[in-house]
């Protein structure tokens, strides 16, 4: 093959690649346009589209236009009426999670001595199963990094359980801790301290705030170390966390004081008005929230003493007294003691 023929062949290949690339770009643009059309109603422009799985239709909630029909149901083909039935019929494992060091993707040999049909394993095979279980547990953690991660995530789970935190907070805390490990921020710091700081950051990110004192109570490190580690990892990881709002504490404090929903709503309204007049800035959110609940309980006829509110909120009676006088004066609230 001569040089000219080689050049022609290369040119043809280049043109074919160029055409293929252009075709892919056109296909992507077409797909993007279809997705945009699919996410908005062509009749009224509304984005409130609902999938009706019983009729297999995509319907606009605003004007009732059917945008799509006979789409594929990606759910299971079986029905279950309780949790046990669902677990028996399910053919997949647990979902992936960041709260386990291997993300829950490795095999676990169950502690119950039963086979897949639920029959008891004979005593002859139990010793072998015990050894398999032991070695499986050992090989799940292969190196020092995984051992560190396994210990830290178990510590995170223990603290989250003690504080009664929901699943999304645990997942967020695990992701923050993994990011800190990836950036080598653990070196020279205790695992417990970084885990506690990651949990505190996750609480703030998910708007389920817990104070440093509450985190310190369930962890094995001091409040000072948690605060210092939290500031360090938030700076290094670039966590953009807004100051905690006093409104986020109201549901938990009201639940601890057994107050009705009306009292909670009134406390939230007081805090909203205080925020508009900038009465909450520069003050501890727990103290302001406790003062608003104290005022709301008196106005709602479910009076709680300052000591009771202080014990639930974790602040002093003096703080509540100062804050409630300030709120009552600035917001023109008449309180009959």
The answer to the question of whether 60 is labelled as a binding residue is yes
Residues 212 and 200: beta-carbon distance below 8 Å: yes
- 19: enclosing H helix or E strand: helix 3-39
Burial 203-225 (b: 16+ CB within 10 A, else e): bbbbebbbbbebbbeebebebeb
E-assigned strand segments in the chain:
49-52, 57-60, 66-69
Q: What torsion, rounded to 10 degrees, do the Cα atoms 81, 82, 84, 86 define?
A: 50
**CA dist., res. 223 & res. 197, Å (int):** 10
CA 130 from centroid of its chain's CA atoms? 36
The answer to the question of whether 206 is labelled as a binding residue is no
Residue 173 neighbours by CB distance under 10 Å? 30
The answer to the question of whether 63 is labelled as a binding residue is yes
Which positions make up the binding site for Zn(2+)? Answer: 41, 44, 60, 63
Which positions make up the binding site? Answer: 41, 44, 60, 63
């Amino acid at each position: 093959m001569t040089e000219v023929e080689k050049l022609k062949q290369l040119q043809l290949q280049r043109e074919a690649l160029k055409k293929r690339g252009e075709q892919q770009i056109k296909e992507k643009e077409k797909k993007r346009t279809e997705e945009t059309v699919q996410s908005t109603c062509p009749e009224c422009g509304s984005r409130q589209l609902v999938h009706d799985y019983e009729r297999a239709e995509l319907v606009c909630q605003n004007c009732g236009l059917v945008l799509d029909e006979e789409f594929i149901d990606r759910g299971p083909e079986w029905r279950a009426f309780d949790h046990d039935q669902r677990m028996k019929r399910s053919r997949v494992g647990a979902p992936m999670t960041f709260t386990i060091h291997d993300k829950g993707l490795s095999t676990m040999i169950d502690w119950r001595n039963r086979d897949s049909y639920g029959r008891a394993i004979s005593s002859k095979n139990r010793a072998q199963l015990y050894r398999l279980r032991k070695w499986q547990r050992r090989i799940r953690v292969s190196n020092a990094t995984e051992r560190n991660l396994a210990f830290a995530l178990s510590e995170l789970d223990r603290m989250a359980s003690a504080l009664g935190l929901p699943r999304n907070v645990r997942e967020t805390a695990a992701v923050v801790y993994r990011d800190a490990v990836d950036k080598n921020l653990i070196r020279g710091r205790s695992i417990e301290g970084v885990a506690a700081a990651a949990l505190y950051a996750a609480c703030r990110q998910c708007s389920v705030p817990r104070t440093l004192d509450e985190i310190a109570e369930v962890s094995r490190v001091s409040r000072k170390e948690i605060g210092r580690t939290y500031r360090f990892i938030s700076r290094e990881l670039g966590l953009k966390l807004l100051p905690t709002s006093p409104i986020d504490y109201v549901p938990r404090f009201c639940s601890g004081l057994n107050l009705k929903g009306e009292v909670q709503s009134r406390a939230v309204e007081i805090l909203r008005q205080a925020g508009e007049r900038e009465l909450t800035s520069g003050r501890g959110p727990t103290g302001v929230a406790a003062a608003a609940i104290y005022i709301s309980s008196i106005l709602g006829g479910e009076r709680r003493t300052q000591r009771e509110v202080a014990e639930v909120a974790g602040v002093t009676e003096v703080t509540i007294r100062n804050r409630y006088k300030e709120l009552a004066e600035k917001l023109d609230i008449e309180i009959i003691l």
